[in-house]
Amino acid sequence: MRITLAQLNPVIGDFEGNFSIIKAAVKKAISSGSDLIVFPEMIVSGYPPRDLLEREDFIQAFTKSEERLVNLSRETKDLAILAGTVCSSPGNGEKGLVNSAVLFHNGKRLFRQDKTLLPTYDVFEEARYFDPATIHRICPFGAEKLGITICEDAWNDPELFPRQKYSINPVDRMSKLGATIFINLSASPFGLGKDAIRYRLFGKQALKYRKPFIFVNQAGANDDLICDGRSMVFDETGQLLWIGPAFEEAVHTIDLRSKTVPVAFTPMDPLADAHDGLITGIRDYMRKCGFGKAVLGLSGGIDSAVTACLAVQAAGSDRIIGLSMPSAYTSESSITDARELALNLGISLHVVPIDSAYQTLCESLKPFFPSGPMDETKENIQARIRGIIIMAFSNKFGYLVLTSGNKSELSVGYCTLYGDMSGGLSVLSDVPKTMVYELARHINSRHAWIPESILTKAPSAELRPDQKDQDTLPPYDKLDAILSEYLNGMTRDDLIEKGFDGKTVDWVIDAMMKSEFKRRQAAPGLKITSKAFGTGRRMPIAQKWTG
């Protein structure tokens, strides 16, 4: 059987546009003599549509798209189309909807398999919208019997995941029903190291059941979620026959009847992966939300430098604008570094000093605030003036504002609401400060864009004389280590037993818990790790837990 894998990048809710990319992929499959083309999970609407699934008109659009796929399959003759969509629940399902894979062939809906395992952890909320499959069947097709699963359905192998989330293993059930080929339609989000997990998972299942395994994944980003593609084909011995490109669309045909030479699997380098994933996130957020240009503050610091470099690679230097907003506390070296970075990147840089606005505001507040040395209120006034200026550029010209706060700062609230947090997309919100430096070195290994002085200077918000981040925060290597362990489930006592200083641990946990209200108001951030802030983290604001 010749099977075409269509690793595509749909836009959520763009049924017309998504059908166009489906049709283009079908045309390629026909030209390659394919018997079957397989699309990702919910390719018809794009994934994840979230509460759009609660709109009746949105569901009706699925029905119309299905009719178009029926008609398309009538035109394709010998080629069958397996696509992810949404259907009405059979019987009396509580939600009324199922996440489905439907096989279209010769103008008919030949087969349908609904998704069984509906994840509700991290960024997933599928049980909120869908009913689980009540029936498992295999699909006779030509000389084969297709065992069709959808994303999570293939992630419950007890040999790889001893702590089972579900009592059902759909792949095992379909094997017992006589499946000769396993096909998994996915919209599996990107995470550092996830390519290696998928390789082990699907390869071992192919070997375990002695059947070929085909994994077709979505590519591209929607909001905070980035799908990395990397679709895979394994033979019945668990050998990898093909792997799709990372973060890009691909339409590839493979003949399972012929002897294909296995390819070596090389895990992606984490830095290169993070770099390319963030570029994908910026690129698709701008394109899918209709932003022609983006603007960001260039402070002369490492975070804004890395953000600017990623943005230029995502959109092009002619579509990125930098703002330098110096105050009386901004060092001359920071101004020079920002200017040199902009010159290296080839982007426009506008200088808008904030000192006069700052002095005016301080004078206006003088009757109400006692005079005294620089304090947090005065520091935050400066940050908020910058927020006003950058949002003014956004309002006036329709630019997307990119914020550059990193995960370390966001974790402990070392950021200013309505100041440096103002914006439309938070690029580095899932990138710890230590990784920001690593990304900068990685970028410079390809392009000598970031001045060395930015890489070597001590981090500072420059909101008061001689300010340094480490005046307030623990050293970033220690802070990031504690945050990583705590976010992944370690307790306070575990951290102390591991050797971290007790006072530092208590300060970090306390600061993290108290800063939830800030994160709730932050711009959406691009997710690249298994534990990101945003849609996957559901913490109360009013609470007392510091365990």
pLDDT, tens only, 461-501: 778 787 787 888 999 999 999 999 999 889 999 999 999 99
Cα separation, 237 vs 435, whole angstroms: 38
Asked whether residue 8 is domain-assigned, the answer is yes
Query: Is 41 a catalytic site residue?
Result: yes
Q: Which of 469, 485, 513 corresponds to the end of one domain?
A: 469
CATH number, residue 188:
3.60.110.10
Asked whether residue 518 is domain-assigned, the answer is no
Are residue 25 and residue 10 in the same domain, yes or no? Answer: yes
**With pLDDT > 90 as the criterion, what percentage of the chain qualifies?**
87
Q: Which of 441, 405, 42, 366 is nearest to 216 (CA)?
A: 42
Are residue 245 and residue 372 in the same domain, yes or no? Answer: no
pLDDT confidence bin for 160, thresholds 50/70/90: confident
- Alpha-helical regions (H) of 100-177: 170-176
Asked whether residue 528 is domain-assigned, the answer is no
Tell me the mean pLDDT in the region 209-236. 97
Are residue 81 and residue 124 in the same domain, yes or no? Answer: yes
**pLDDT tens track for 243-276:** 999 999 999 999 998 888 999 999 999 999 999 9
Tell me the mean pLDDT in the region 393-422. 96
Asked whether residue 488 is domain-assigned, the answer is no
Question: Quick one: pLDDT at residue 90?
Answer: 86
Residue 333: C-alpha distances to residues 436, 453, 463, 491, 501 (Å)? 20, 8, 15, 42, 35
Residue 547 has pLDDT above 70, yes or no: no
Average pLDDT value over all residues in the chain? 94
Which position among 66, 87, 115, 433 bears the catalytic label? 115
Are residue 258 and residue 322 in the same domain, yes or no? Answer: no
Q: Is the dihedral of CA 6, 10, 12, 18 positive or negative?
A: negative
Coil, strand, or helix at residue 269? coil
Asked whether residue 503 is domain-assigned, the answer is no
Block residue for tokens 């000389």:
143
Structure tokens belonging to residue 176 = 């017992």
| Domain span including residue 414 | 274-469
Residue 92 has pLDDT above 80, yes or no: no
Asked whether residue 514 is domain-assigned, the answer is no
Cα separation, 213 vs 322, whole angstroms: 47
Are residue 284 and residue 417 in the same domain, yes or no? Answer: yes
Task: Provide the whole-model pTM.
Answer: 0.95
Cα separation, 3 vs 37, whole angstroms: 6
Q: Determine contact, residues 343/312, Cβ cutoff 8 Å.
A: no
Q: Is the dihedral of CA 32, 37, 38, 42 positive or negative?
A: positive
Are residue 54 and residue 181 in the same domain, yes or no? Answer: yes
Instruction: Report the number of secondary-structure helices (H) and strands (E) in the chain.
Output: 16, 19
> Which helix (H) or strand (E) element contains residue 99?
strand 97-105
* Cα angle 119, 120, 122; round to 5: 105
Block residue for tokens 């701008």:
286
Are residue 256 and residue 342 in the same domain, yes or no? Answer: no
Are residue 98 and residue 182 in the same domain, yes or no? Answer: yes
With b for 16 or more beta-carbon neighbours within 10 A and e for fewer, the 497-529 pattern comes to: eeebeeebbebbbebbbebbebbeebbbbbbbb
Block residue for tokens 């609407």:
45
User: What is the Cα Rg of the chain in Å?
Assistant: 26
Block residue for tokens 């992810």:
84
Residue 138: C-alpha distances to residues 86, 150, 183, 516 (Å)? 19, 13, 11, 47
Are residue 290 and residue 240 in the same domain, yes or no? Answer: no
CATH number, residue 371:
3.40.50.620
Asked whether residue 80 is domain-assigned, the answer is yes
Structure tokens belonging to residue 140 = 């006779």
Which position among 41, 340, 409, 462 bears the catalytic label? 41
Q: Which of 444, 469, 494 corresponds to the end of one domain?
A: 469
- Domain total in the chain: 2
Tell me the mean pLDDT in the region 122-134. 94
Question: Quick one: pLDDT at residue 462?
Answer: 74
Q: Which of 100, 164, 157, 169 is nearest to 129 (CA)?
A: 100
Question: Quick one: pLDDT at residue 158?
Answer: 80
Are residue 256 and residue 294 in the same domain, yes or no? Answer: no
Structure tokens belonging to residue 51 = 């509460």
**pLDDT tens track for 407-420:** 999 999 999 999 99
Q: What is the DSSP string of 509-544?
A: HHHHHHTHHHHHTSPPB---SSS-SSTT----SS--
Which position among 87, 125, 144, 151 bears the catalytic label? 151
> Which helix (H) or strand (E) element contains residue 186?
strand 181-186
The arrangement of strands across the sheet holding 108-114 comes to 108-114, 97-105, 80-88, 36-38, 2-7, 250-255
Question: Quick one: pLDDT at residue 393?
Answer: 98
**pLDDT tens track for 206-222:** 999 999 999 999 999 99
Structure tokens belonging to residue 283 = 């690129």
Query: Is 309 a catalytic site residue?
Result: no
Q: Which of 443, 469, 495 corresponds to the end of one domain?
A: 469
Torsion of CA 58, 59, 61, 65, to 10 degrees: 140
Are residue 261 and residue 387 in the same domain, yes or no? Answer: no
Asked whether residue 120 is domain-assigned, the answer is yes
Q: Determine contact, residues 22/73, Cβ cutoff 8 Å.
A: no
> What's the distance, CA 457 to chain centroid?
30
Query: Is 115 a catalytic site residue?
Result: yes
Question: Quick one: pLDDT at residue 461?
Answer: 79
Question: Quick one: pLDDT at residue 470?
Answer: 81
Are residue 54 and residue 110 in the same domain, yes or no? Answer: yes
